[in-house]
């Protein structure tokens, strides 16, 4: 770790482990949906809200926390955030009713609010542009691994020992890693002048930074395309264990195991999307956009087939192929949000992206739950590919604008 390269890879390792734990803590809930529903007799829309509230809290707090990340210390902020969301997850094990659990899930979202923005900013700083997309792809791959682990542990432990024990198991590692992160070397952030240290002046600078970002057309296309796909993916991850139980007759443990394996299997797609983008971009300047659009188009076809088939084997196959393709956009799209802005607002840029995408991650699963309450879960999930079609259109709209905005830097 004495060399710059060694420090960079140590940082990347910790960031990936933390992101894995982030998603394990988020998605453990998906593996225990039916146990919680049975114990408290709640609706599908209420179930959806237990995961959705995490995304909503991230949306509410991501901007102010991203500002602190950009102006204070990424190292200390990440350590603090991991500690907070881990303790909040542990508290979920002690919830005595639906509203207590909802409150503790909201605290989990508060802790996770600006982690993605801080992590992407640190990776962007630590690695050169020629390899940056690849390493962001590796980082993004930690999310499906964490989701899979959380879902599998949730379903298995819920069936064997009761759903409350699942929260305690996934929470403990986060406390340890939060302390380990204090060992990394922080890097220089843009210093705030004496006047800006005053709250009013700081607010003015933040408003100026936001206005600067809002004037970049590329960001708007990417923000909403990214968010539509994240809303779609979040909904599938949240509901797939329940889908397997209701329409394919699996037990909670069996459904969680299959859903968890599928979530882990999609880790191929995130780094693969980054790798293809890096290689293809040497020949085609639109590579990042093309990879994002093409992979999304393929994914929604497999998603529709997975939902409609009555064969368990085909459903697993199609969901798996959907998963690999639907995360391939992450690295190239994330890279674009960093490459069209000044270095001092990179975390804020991605923070706005996180805000919007988490609003979709909140709304889509809850909406699907409400539609499921009226019709059924299969019908509700069959509507999801529509979001992918809209995202594809947005990706193509950004094709030329991306290079125009980069040249303005």
- Residue 190, in any domain of the structure: no
User: Are 69 and 124 in contact, with CB atoms under 8 Å apart?
Assistant: no
Residue 290 has pLDDT above 70, yes or no: yes
- Neighbouring CB atoms inside 10 A of 348's CB total 26
Looking at residue 191, the DSSP 8-state letter turns out to be: P
Query: Who wins on pLDDT, 303 or 7?
Result: 303
* Cα 309 from Cα 317, distance rounded (Å): 11
Question: Of 149-153, 253-257, 269-273, 390-394, where does mean pLDDT reach its minimum?
Answer: 269-273
Question: Of 14-23, 283-292, 314-323, 397-406, where does mean pLDDT reach its minimum?
Answer: 397-406
- Upper half-sphere CA count for residue 125 (Cβ side, 13 Å): 22
Looking at residue 184, the DSSP 8-state letter turns out to be: S
User: Are 147 and 23 in contact, with CB atoms under 8 Å apart?
Assistant: yes
- Residue 23, in any domain of the structure: yes
Q: Residue-wise over 279-309: b if at least 16 C-beta within 10 A, else e?
A: ebbeeeebbbbbbbbbbbbbbbebbbbbbeb
Which pLDDT band holds residue 193 (cuts at 50, 70, 90)? very low
User: Are 71 and 190 in contact, with CB atoms under 8 Å apart?
Assistant: yes
* Cα 401 from Cα 138, distance rounded (Å): 27
Question: Of 52-56, 164-168, 261-265, where does mean pLDDT reach its minimum?
Answer: 261-265
pLDDT for the residue numbered 252: 92
In sequence order, the 6+-apart residues with CB closer than 8 A to the CB of 156 are 31, 253, 256, 257
pLDDT for the residue numbered 144: 81
Two tokens, residue 107? 């605290």
Q: Which helix (H) or strand (E) holds 317?
A: helix 312-326
Residue 93 has pLDDT above 70, yes or no: yes
Domain that holds residue 287: 4-185+202-407
95: left (phi over 0), alpha (psi -120 to 50) or beta: beta
Residue 196 has pLDDT above 60, yes or no: no
Question: Of 199-208, 255-264, 307-316, 391-400, where does mean pLDDT reach its minimum?
Answer: 199-208
pLDDT for the residue numbered 192: 45
- Residue 320, in any domain of the structure: yes
Query: Who wins on pLDDT, 216 or 392?
Result: 392
pLDDT tens, residue by residue, 267-279: 788 778 888 888 8
Question: Of 139-143, 215-219, 244-248, where does mean pLDDT reach its minimum?
Answer: 139-143
- The string of DSSP letters for 201-256 reads HHHHHHHHHHHHHHT-HHHHHHHHHHHHHHHHHHHHHHHHHHHHHHHH---HHHHH
- Residue 393, in any domain of the structure: yes
- Upper half-sphere CA count for residue 14 (Cβ side, 13 Å): 24
* Cα 324 from Cα 262, distance rounded (Å): 9
Q: Output the CA torsion sign for 44, 239, 301, 335.
A: positive
Residue 144 to residues 108, 155, 277, Cα–Cα distance (Å): 18, 16, 20
Q: For the CA atoms of the chain, what is the radius of gyration?
A: 20
User: Are 289 and 332 in contact, with CB atoms under 8 Å apart?
Assistant: yes
- Residue 196, in any domain of the structure: no
- Residue 147, in any domain of the structure: yes
Query: Who wins on pLDDT, 199 or 154?
Result: 154
- Residue 191, in any domain of the structure: no
The whole-number average pLDDT for the span 231-239 is 93
* Cα 84 from Cα 307, distance rounded (Å): 37
- Residue 309, in any domain of the structure: yes
Two tokens, residue 221? 């296309």
Residue 327 has pLDDT above 80, yes or no: yes
Two tokens, residue 343? 């270095």
pLDDT for the residue numbered 296: 96
pLDDT tens, residue by residue, 147-166: 999 999 999 999 999 999 99
- The string of DSSP letters for 102-158 reads HHHHHHHHHHHTTHHHHHHHHHHHHS-HHHHHHHHHHHHHHHHHHHHHHHHHHHHHH
The whole-number average pLDDT for the span 335-342 is 83
327: domain CATH number?
A: 1.20.1250.20
pLDDT for the residue numbered 315: 96
User: Are 133 and 331 in contact, with CB atoms under 8 Å apart?
Assistant: yes
Total domains, the chain: 1
Two tokens, residue 226? 């990214």
């Amino acid at each position: 770790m004495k060399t710059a390269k060694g420090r960079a890879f140590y940082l990347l390792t910790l960031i990936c482990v933390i992101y894995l734990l982030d998603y394990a803590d988020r998605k453990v809930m998906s593996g225990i949906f039916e146990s919680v529903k049975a114990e408290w007799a709640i609706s599908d829309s209420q179930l959806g809200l237990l995961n959705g509230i995490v995304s909503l809290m991230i949306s509410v707090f991501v901007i102010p926390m991203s500002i602190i990340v950009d102006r204070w210390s990424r190292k200390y902020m990440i350590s603090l955030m991991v500690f907070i969301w881990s303790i909040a997850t542990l508290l979920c094990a002690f919830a005595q009713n639906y509203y207590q659990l909802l409150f503790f899930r909201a605290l989990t979202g508060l802790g996770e609010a600006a982690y993605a923005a801080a992590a992407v900013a640190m990776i962007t700083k630590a690695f050169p542009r020629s390899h940056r997309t690849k390493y962001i792809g590796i980082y993004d791959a930690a999310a499906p691994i964490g989701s899979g682990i959380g879902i599998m542990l949730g379903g298995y432990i819920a069936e064997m020992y009761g759903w409350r024990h699942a929260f305690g198991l996934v929470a403990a590692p986060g406390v340890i890693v939060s302390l380990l992160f204090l060992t990394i070397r922080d890097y220089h952030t843009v210093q705030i002048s004496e006047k800006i240290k005053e709250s009013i002046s700081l607010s003015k600078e933040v408003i100026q930074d936001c206005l600067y970002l809002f004037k970049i057309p590329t960001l708007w296309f990417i923000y909403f395309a990214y968010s539509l796909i994240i809303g779609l993916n979040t909904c599938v991850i949240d509901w797939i264990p329940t889908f397997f139980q209701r329409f394919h007759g699996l037990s909670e443990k069996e459904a969680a195991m299959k859903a968890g394996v599928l979530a882990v299997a999609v880790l191929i797609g995130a780094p693969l999307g980054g790798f293809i983008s890096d290689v293809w971009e040497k020949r085609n300047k639109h590579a990042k956009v093309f990879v994002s659009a093409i992979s999304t188009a393929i994914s929604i076809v497999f998603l529709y087939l997975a939902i409609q088939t009555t064969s368990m084997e085909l459903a697993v196959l199609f969901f798996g192929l959907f998963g690999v393709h639907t995360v391939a956009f992450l690295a190239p799209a994330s890279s674009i949000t960093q490459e069209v802005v000044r270095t001092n607002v990179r975390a804020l840029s991605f923070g706005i992206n996180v805000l919007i995408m988490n609003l979709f991650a909140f709304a889509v699963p809850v909406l699907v739950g409400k539609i499921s309450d009226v019709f059924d879960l299969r019908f509700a999930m069959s509507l999801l590919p529509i979001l992918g079609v809209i995202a594809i259109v947005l990706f193509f709209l950004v094709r030329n604008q991306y290079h125009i905005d980069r040249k303005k830097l």
